Amino acid sequence: MPDVLVLYYSRHGSTRKLAELIASGIERVPGVQARLRTVPPVSTVCEATAPDIPDEGPPYVELRDLHECIGLALGSPTRFGNMAAPMKYFLDGTIAEWLGGTLTGKPACVFTSTGSLHGGQEATLLSMMLPLLHHGMLVLGLPYGNTPLMTTSGGGTPYGPSHHAGGDNARAVSDDEATMAIAMGQRLAETALRLSVAPAAAAR
């Protein structure tokens, strides 16, 4: 069964909750399964080596995951209006995949979690799209139809699902935020499945 990769970084667990909801949306689509992967933290002092297997949660991503997936959901907490360094560090190591067109023509979406409601969700989501566009990916947004985008009082944007976690990350994912995360996963999986049966057309 083809996999859609859900790749995220999460320090306190909020982005991870969104990742799991997106994965559940992906798995609502028959014939596709979600592959959850994360990235190790980076050291601010010097190059550090994490153990091969994280203490908890899904395994660390390997470059082969990018080759094997038919679509990608990329998630990161917002850090000063941008993605977190560990995710950027991983992406900066994908030059061989860029040269080889590994991700070209595959669909992708982005998601984030913030401490404050207006703390840069949309800026983060838009900037996370940039490396995916360089890789030739087909970036999907979240349509207003059949989603609570118009009425949400928390996260959720046309650029991708998001979560307002609060300053202490204590806010639960709201029903509206969860609905949009699941809808995004479903949309990604349906698109990935459609494109994967016509890979030559998708890569054009």
Ligand X SMILES: Cc1cc2nc3c(=O)[nH]c(=O)nc-3n(C[C@H](O)[C@H](O)[C@H](O)COP(=O)(O)O)c2cc1C
**Of 192, 188, 131, 196, residue with least CA distance to 161:** 188
- Residue 77 is a binding residue for ligand X (CB under 6 A): yes
Residue 128 to residue 99: CA distance in whole angstroms: 19
**Sole window of 33-41, 89-97, 109-117, 186-194 interacting with ligand X (rule: CB under 6 A):** 109-117
- Residue 174 is a binding residue for ligand X (CB under 6 A): no
Q: Where are the beta strands (DSSP E) in the chain?
A: 3-8, 33-38, 69-79, 82-83, 107-114, 138-139, 162-164
- Tokens for 11? 């320090």
Residue 22 to residue 73: CA distance in whole angstroms: 8
Sole binder of ligand X in the list 15, 102, 127, 162 (CB under 6 A): 15
Sole binder of ligand X in the list 2, 119, 136, 141 (CB under 6 A): 119
Residue 142 to residue 158: CA distance in whole angstroms: 5
Sole binder of ligand X in the list 40, 54, 57, 115 (CB under 6 A): 115
Q: Give the nearest distance from C-beta 141 to ligand X in angstroms.
A: 21
- Residue 41 is a binding residue for ligand X (CB under 6 A): no
The SS3 call for residue 174 is coil
- Tokens for 80? 């000063």
Classify 79 in phi/psi space as left (phi over 0), alpha (psi -120 to 50) or beta.
beta
Residue closer to ligand X, measured from CB, 31 or 167 = 167
Sole binder of ligand X in the list 4, 5, 10, 160 (CB under 6 A): 10
Residue closer to ligand X, measured from CB, 38 or 196 = 38
Residue 170 to residue 126: CA distance in whole angstroms: 25
Residue closer to ligand X, measured from CB, 1 or 170 = 170
**Sole window of 11-19, 23-31, 39-47, 97-105 interacting with ligand X (rule: CB under 6 A):** 11-19
Q: Which residue is nearest to ligand X (CB)?
A: 119
- Residue 79 is a binding residue for ligand X (CB under 6 A): yes
Task: Say if CB 34 and CB 68 are below 8 A apart.
Answer: no
Sole binder of ligand X in the list 125, 165, 178, 189 (CB under 6 A): 165
Sole binder of ligand X in the list 25, 86, 107, 120 (CB under 6 A): 120
Residues 131-150 binding ligand X (CB under 6 A) are none
Find the helix or strand (DSSP H, E) in which 32 lies: none
